[in-house]
Structure 1
């Protein structure tokens, strides 16, 4: 009866379940013997054991660390990656810590890539750094029985001193751009006002010139009409106007009128012309 519990324990220790998407590494007296697949697997109690290794995709975030750019700027880098184990035997037995070795490989290549870039280039080339890093690592991690499926640079952050300097430079650049924009706006405003004033002066001069021309044309037209009317008037009309002119002179304050006797018959024409032109007759 005493042996029954002991037998039950021995039987229980003789089997090990290997979960889905995992493999079991069978070790006999501490030495690797064979690889067992998913399911229930037998082992010799106390002599053999099964080390379970997951083959599923695993995420890993590397602790932030410092890298130096080509222009000696200090940048803090944060990297995440996804990997899976491709060779459980290499992963478990050929390296004491394959994951740490993989992290060191990633850090080393990232330092090398960023070390060939200046600060501004590195901060603006995250996607390119991801590609270069994936290419650089390539199949190197297979040495550790691991394959890196994806690498992503989460953050490249300059040191506090560099960030403060960048903020100052950015502020100065913004102020310079704003000053240039303001100056350009004022210059454009002055140009538009000058253009508007010039156009107004030109329009005023054009209008004055047109008005002067119109008045001159009207005056010329009126004189032509007067002269045409005088040409068509007969001698009786001018005689009548002469009588009216002498009558007006007789009723005026003028004490003396001197005229050429030979041109006496032109007096009526002069009176008519002066009346039609709106001027006073002076002889």
Structure 2
């Protein structure tokens, strides 16, 4: 009896084990009975009839991503490779359609992506492809939603994640961009130089104006000082001509003294001898005297003429 019981017990254990199966979270198992669809089992510990029921397959209910690389040509005859990422999932209520109506969903999705991209991109120039990549992604999503919903697939999102033109085109674009940046940099540098020149000219003009104003103020103060000096000398009996000559000679010797105080000065004031200073003073006094005499003579002649006219 023991020999018969052991095989029966072993067979029972095998049948029990084969009747139990586990479905993972976010997964659906399709059960067929004698080759025909029987039921869909969700996550958890499940049972089936051994040798009668069969797990035909399992479908993930998670969001999945499929990357499709499409090579096509733009409106300006540039070959470009686009990488389109499609995020999709199987609808929980349409597991039957997803399993039985479509054998190869990846190939189906890829075909639609190729069809839409090769229909949209040839209408655009290369620059527009970069700018309007979101429009391309939306067009792909709209086409896939209409086509794949029937098979139980929901298209969550489509993204154009990479746009890769031909290598020669990229090199040309880089050269164009570099040239544009150099042009812009040159323009900015030119503007900066122009601003510096204008500001420098303004500064020089202001400096000249202030310098001229300073010289005018200096001369005004010198004139005021000379006037005061003449008034002081007049009080002690020295007339205006002699006072002016004396002031000039005094300034002459003051200048010589200041030149002598400078160790590295190359300036020489001529004439610079004492006799020359005396001669200069005498000449200036004589000049002032002669000038006064000429002025008096002209004044008398004019007065005489006026008297004759009145007579």
When normalised by structure 1's length, the TM-score is: 0.70
Per the alignment, residue 185 of structure 1 pairs with 192
Counterpart CA distance in 1 for 2:222 and 2:19 is: 128
**Do 1:67 and 1:114's aligned partners in 2 also have CA atoms closer than 8 Å?**
yes
Matching residue within 92, 98, 103 for 2:105: 98
**Residue 233 of structure 2 contacts residue 239 of structure 2 at CA under 8 Å; is this kept in 1?**
no
2:32 matched residue in structure 1: 27
Question: After superposition, where does 1:1-283 map in structure 2 within 5 Å?
Answer: 1=4, 4=8, 9=14, 12-38=17-43, 39-43=45-49, 45=51, 47-86=52-91, 87-127=94-134, 129-131=136-138, 133-223=140-230, 229=235, 272-277=239-244, 278=246, 280=282, 281-282=285-286
- Structure 1 residues 42 and 224 mapped into 2: Cα distance closer, same or farther (>3 Å)? same
Matched residue of 2:25: which SS? coil
Unaligned residue ranges in structure 1 (runs of 5+): 231-268
Query: 1:106 touches 1:133 (CA, 8 Å); kept in 2?
Result: yes
* Residue 160 of structure 1: how far off its partner (Å): 0.6
Deviates more, 1:160-169 or 1:33-42: 33-42
C-alpha separation in 1, matches of 2:101 and 2:31: 16
Q: CA deviation at 1:133?
A: 4.0
Alpha carbons 2:68, 2:110 under 8 Å: kept: no
For residues 1-60 of structure 1, give each alpha carbon's deviation from its aligned partner in whole angstroms, at most 9, with x where no partner exists.
497366665555445443333223222343323323443232351x54222323431433
The CA deviation at 1:89 is: 1.3
Runs of at least 5 residues in structure 2 that lack an aligned partner in the other structure: 247-280, 290-311
SS across alignment from 1:201 = helix
TM-score w.r.t. length of structure 2: 0.64
Aligned length: 242
Change (3 A) 1:37 1:170: closer
